[in-house]
Amino acid sequence: MFGPAPAKRTLEAALRDVASQKPAVRAEAVSDLVPYAATAREQVVRAIEGVLRVDEHAAVRAAAAIGLADTKAVEALPALLLAVEDADPYVRQMAITALGEIGDMRATGRLRRALSDERPEVRFQAVIAFPRVCAQQADAIEAVMQATHDDDPLVCHIALRMFEELGESSGELPPSAMERARALLGHASPLVRAAAAVVTARFGDPVGHPVLAEIVGGKLDGVDREDEAAAIELCGELGLAASRSALERRAFGLRLGFGRDPLRWHARVALARMGHERAIRDILSELGAWDRHKRTLAVAAAGRARLSAARAAIAAMRGDERKADQGAVEEALAAIAAEVDA
């Protein structure tokens, strides 16, 4: 029998349980402390920082690093800098992640050293964190550029992802970064090739379009699921005709022995963006579904596909959480309006 989910601890109970004899209880208590940072920040941060510094179990220290990231605990910066040298690799990774989430420039030197650490898992996290604390974008670009030459494909892959993040604010990548992304379309790792295709397409270079079509058609093994979803989305945005039949199979077909495609929602959105009649009809129909979750997904799909025909139906859901998630409603209406006004 499934019972109700256990209630979250009170602040007092969570502060008590971070000293429990059971590691699992201590880790849960750390997570339960995080929401209380809004009203009892000093107590919460001090307690979590203490766990990071002294707890004997790596899983509990890692939970503490995550908790400090979630609370943006700049006060705990010294403890996190020390934790980058923790004996446990996962704790090291979570400490670096926390430094990136907090975004304090004082961590720049430590993260710069981590970029050349002998351990690939440390370099991986440092590539994500360093640009988020670095004051000069040129320094961030240079560090990420260097990481694209890493022998570890996972590090190279995440560096390409950071190119995307760095380019989002200005809407373009520096020419050197774009040139490097183009070069990585020929990388030995499919993981890296896929990310390079997404980056080049995202910033207006069609050189990687054939790789996008390969990804959507399932002809490139070992691709990260997020990159696969991004490739599907880009094929719809760009109207890549070469991907149309593969998108139809993914959106409407069955994979023999494996059931429906896990990215069928993305494929249908891409087709609708390309003007595919069945995809559009299905999304519009599901705006009137009985199930709230299904309606919310249809709202999000209509927004992603920029379906002006859905505007009135989505607007009718405004202000009523029972009809659909209001965040999805507002986001979809804004996207459709932007398309109509363009």
Mean pLDDT, consecutive 10-residue stretches, the chain (342 aa), reads 54 94 94 94 95 95 96 94 92 94 92 91 94 89 95 96 85 89 96 96 95 94 94 96 94 67 95 96 96 96 96 95 95 91 64
Strands (E), 155-295: 254-255, 259-260
Determine the pLDDT at residue 165. 87
Q: Where are the alpha helices (DSSP H) in 274-310?
A: 277-286, 292-305
Determine the pLDDT at residue 342. 60
> Scanning the structure block, which residue is given the tokens 């997020």?
226
Determine the pLDDT at residue 191. 96
Determine the pLDDT at residue 167. 86
Nearest to 106 by CA among 137, 74, 71, 69: 74
Determine the pLDDT at residue 171. 76
pTM confidence score: 0.84
DSSP 155-175: HHHHHHHHHHHHHHTTTS--H
- Distance CA(149)–CA(156), nearest Å, equals 7
> Scanning the structure block, which residue is given the tokens 């670095």?
134
- Distance CA(211)–CA(231), nearest Å, equals 9
329 in Cβ contact with 310 (< 8 Å): no
194 in Cβ contact with 158 (< 8 Å): no
